Amino acid sequence: MTAGGTRQLQYRVAMREAMREALLADERVFLMGEDVGAYGGCFAVSLGLFEEFGPERIRDTPLSELAFVGAGIGAALGGMRPIVEIMTVNFSLLALDQILNNAATLSHMSGGQFAIPLVIRIPTGGGRQLAAQHSHSLEGWYAHIPGLRVLAPATVEDARGMLAPALADPNPVLIFEHVLLYNVEEEVPLEPATVDIASAAIRRGGRDVSLITYGGSLPLVLEAAAELATAGIDAEVIDLRVLRPLDERTVLESVTRTHRAVVVDEGWRSGSLSAEISARIMERAFFDLDAPVQRICSVEVPVPYAQQLEEAARPRASEVVRVARALVEGRPVDG
């Protein structure tokens, strides 16, 4: 803790504190998932909660994502406020039937008679040598689905502040937590900030090029923006943070100011969230552009295990710098 009403806080601890506060504030809230109890969570996010709240409210589940996500939906229909943790985004595909065909649709199919106040927390992304079955970035798939709100907190403050409004939402909310962010520490206010779960955030103002990203790619984009500044290029950094519904207005206003855009997305290029953002810019801000929209995505291979190959497959700050400089200087990006 430091003077001025701030303190250093780690991302995983911020998530833990947010869950603890929710559990204390509302007896309907409970956490369920694989190893969230006595073990403290695969990424230690729920460490200590089992000892404080007991097995009724911190529930270890069998290894069946389809079953325990379905149980979470049922609990939400029954008036509870479940937080469901899925161990990794790849495993969420085992629960896709429940998420798409039940959680996302029941309110619509019932004419609004049923609410599904369910929060699903999902670690995502690569960079920790966990191999292909644990390292992909599939949040763009879920951002495709009407009926869901999809969040990707990239800062400690957002990790701390997004859970409460997510639990208050009558519709299902998916929170994607990039695995490389769990160890990140940042200075945050002593009192948790109220976080907007509807809007993107401008993390750095600029006039020359818009760098648009989210989640685990934000740190490397901010690093790239700092390097671009040493070359006299003023990059604006947009953190989408809400992947569905997209805050199109903030993105378009930024592009209108800078006249250039680079979208950085750890997902694969084909059919990606970056493709959707690029299309919206071209549809709504084409005549404000001085250069074609560029995208930097993961190489279209299963994420490699070997460290050097994994690093080569994921977006890198150096690539963001190269592409942004080419746009601003009017050079061919591949030149």
Return the active site residues: 65, 134
Please give the Cα distance from 293 to 151 (Å, whole number): 24
Give residues with Cβ within 8 angstroms of 78, minimum separation 6: none
Please state, as a whole number, how many other Cβ atoms lie within 10 Å of the Cβ of residue 78. 9
Buried/exposed 222-249: b ≥16 CB within 10 Å, e otherwise: bebbebbeeeebebbbbbbbbbbebbee
Q: For 197-216, give the DSSP string.
A: SS--EEEE--SSEEEEE-GG
CB hemisphere CA count around 294 (13 angstroms): 24
Please give the Cα distance from 298 to 220 (Å, whole number): 14
Element spanning 309, H or E: helix 307-313
Tokens 């998530």 correspond to 15
Q: Is the dihedral of CA 182, 188, 190, 196 positive or negative?
A: negative
